[in-house]
Amino acid sequence: MPYIIAIDQGTSSSRCVLYNEQAQPIAVAQREFTQIYPQPGWVEHDAEEIWQTQSAVFAELLQKQKLKAEDIAGIGITNQRETTVIWYRKTGIPIHNAIVWQDRRTADSCEKLKQSGYETLIQNKTGLLIDPYFSATKIQWLLDHVEGARQLAERGELAFGTMDTWLSWQLSGGKLHITDVSNASRTMLYNINDLCWDMELLELFNIPASLLPSVKSSSEIYGLTAHNEIGLNIPIAGIAGDQQAALFGQLCHQPGMAKCTYGTGSFLMMNTGAQLVKSHHRLLTTIAWQRGDQVTYALEGSVFMGGAVMQWLRDGLLVFKQASDSEALAESVADNGGVYFVPALTGLGAPHWDSSARGAIFGITRGTTQAHLTRAALESIAFQVDELLQTLSDDCGAPIAELHVDGGAAKNNLMVQFQADISRINIIRPKNLESTALGAAYLAGLAVGFWSFESINRTQEIDQRFAPLMPSDQVENLKYYWQKAVVRTKAWME
């Protein structure tokens, strides 16, 4: 059985990637699905459509490559995290659209929880900060707003799941109602110290335990597919949330190793090993994965505007036609010309947490050109990640020596070199920037014996290494002005 398939269930599309024994992605199939916006601030997905697109791309991949179910040694699932769906156990039909992680409809109930003083309790138990992102208040909303849902839930007739749970239910023909620890740790109901659903939190959110899936490790044979269209009896053998899967896919398997995914936003995650590190700067503590009995924890921080700054220059200001043009344009000037761009377009996240901040561009003179602006925008991606890196190392009490990078904007050499320079960090960029799907494939491949732990380390090809080159006085000067600019964007909205 020469292949592993990764199911990559993202926020905007359903993808499947086929990997060979060298862990090369030899074929990909992908379909977008509908984004539903019923009201400002609400975001939903049709879970049935997610399953239909996901099973269609699976079948397409097999067909394109002329493969049969017998050729697939195992399936790994990685998914958009926190997105919540509830369905009837009997029919497998959802009671409502899935509520997506971005959805803010439960902001008021989160605010009430904070005001009632639950923040420390929740952070201590789950590693998370009270926020509508996480599944708990979304489940609560569904039980309170879908007619009859609460009674059905109390009678044990409904099932809750994040997208990994929903897909494994579907793949197994309703046999599996499971999730893995990494996804469970994003629900705000899972106790990451005791490794179980937390009864006190279930009571606080008024959620019946009968709704919940059983929590498994991230790498084991959970069950087999029972679906004619994609093929029968393929082992479902790996599950991890998208950021955790990327950390695994980047081979950040030792404590202290970190990755940053530069996509629309930037997502930094560091392996803290068997040690659960509590953040003093409002970063998230989360479970990275579990293999066998061994649970690995991580610290996580993210910024909202990463590569999205490039989209804004492209679509909002029409500075260039494609994000990839930004590198040559920024290279055409020697430096930022004193221009600093703080992309607080939707406020500032970690470590500032100021939702009233707004974007601003400082230091403009008559000599400023589009090239300086573009360079400043690329630098802003790295400055923000630098702040996260510093926060992470403060929480851990040690500097981070090395950073593994992936995501679309990590293709930009100028930006990555600038990151290495200002953060004084060595950066490793793999050839394959799709670490998320690869991580899910590794987890499944390990479980079915397709790879050994040693052999996956031999599969990764490095594209380029970046070392810090910039003189330290120049770094200090750049950071001084960046910090000054950030301060001036704060508390803008009144």
* Binding residues for ligand ADP (CB under 6 A): 263-264, 307-308, 310-311, 323-324, 326-327, 407-409, 411-412
State how far the Cα of 14 lies from the Cα of 9, in Å rounded to an integer.
Answer: 5
Which CB, 141 or 248, lies closer to ligand ADP? 248
Q: Which of 311/472 has CB closer to ligand ADP?
A: 311
Sign of CA dihedral 299, 197, 93, 103: negative
Phi first, then psi, for residue 354 (nearest 5°) are -125, 100
Nearer residue to ligand ADP within complex by CB, 212 or 381: 381
> Residue 267 Cβ, how far from ligand ADP at the closest point, in Å?
9
Strands (E), 304-368: 340-342, 360-362
Least distance between ligand ADP and beta carbon 327 (Å): 6
Minimum CB–partner distance for residue 29 and ligand ADP (Å) = 17
If the CB atoms of residues 325 and 402 are measured against ligand ADP, the closer one turns out to be: 325
At its nearest, how many Å lie between ligand ADP and the CB of residue 258?
18
User: CA 71, CA 2: separation in Å to the nearest integer?
Assistant: 6
| Residue 150 near residue 144 (C-beta atoms within 8 A) | yes
Tokens of 47: 């879970």
**Minimum distance from residue 23 beta carbon to ligand ADP (Å):** 19
Task: Please say whether the beta carbons of 7 and 54 come within 8 A.
Answer: yes
Least distance (Å) from ligand ADP to the CB of residue 235? 28
Between residues 12 and 457, which has the closer beta carbon with respect to ligand ADP?
12
Is 262 or 340 the residue whose CB approaches ligand ADP more closely?
262
Q: Which token pair is 62?
A: 């097999």
Q: Which is nearer to ligand ADP, 223 or 408 (CB)?
A: 408
CB of 160 to ligand ADP, least distance (A): 26
CB atoms < 10 A from the CB of 443, how many?
33
Nearest approach in angstroms of CB 345 to ligand ADP is 13
Nearer Cβ to ligand ADP, position 257 or 308? 308
Peptide linkage before 351 cis (omega within 30 of 0): yes
Supply the minimum distance, in Å, between the C-beta of residue 308 and ligand ADP.
Answer: 5
- What minimum distance in Å lies between the beta carbon of 418 and ligand ADP? 12
From CA 115, how far away is CA 235, in angstroms rounded? 46
Report, in Å, the least distance between residue 68 CB and ligand ADP. Answer: 31
Q: Which DSSP letter does residue 313 get?
A: I
Minimum separation from the CB atom of position 378 to ligand ADP (A): 6
Select 264 or 336, whichever has its Cβ closest to ligand ADP.
264
Q: Which is it for the CA torsion 181, 182, 184, 185, positive or negative?
A: positive
Question: Which residue has 């950390």 as its token pair?
Answer: 247
Strands (E), 151-255: 158-161, 178-180, 190-191, 196-197, 214-216, 219-227, 231-241
Q: Which is nearer to ligand ADP, 50 or 153 (CB)?
A: 50
Residue nearest ligand ADP, Cβ-based: 408
Q: What is the dihedral of CA 436, 447, 181, 390, to 10 degrees?
A: -50
φ, ψ of residue 295 to 5 degrees: the values are -95, 135
Helix (H) or strand (E) holding 25: strand 25-32
Q: To 5 degrees, how large is the angle CA 17–CA 430–CA 371?
A: 105
Other Cβ atoms less than 10 A from the Cβ of 474: the count is 12
First to last CA, the chain: 61
**CA–CA distance, 285 with 270 (Å, rounded to integer):** 10
DSSP per-residue letters across 41-64: T--EE-HHHHHHHHHHHHHHHHHH
Select from 419, 416, 397 the least CA-distant residue to 464.
416
* Tokens describing residue 311: 């989209």
Based on CB atoms, which residue is closest to ligand ADP, 204 or 260? 260
Q: Return the number of the residue (32 or 154) whose C-beta is nearest ligand ADP.
A: 32
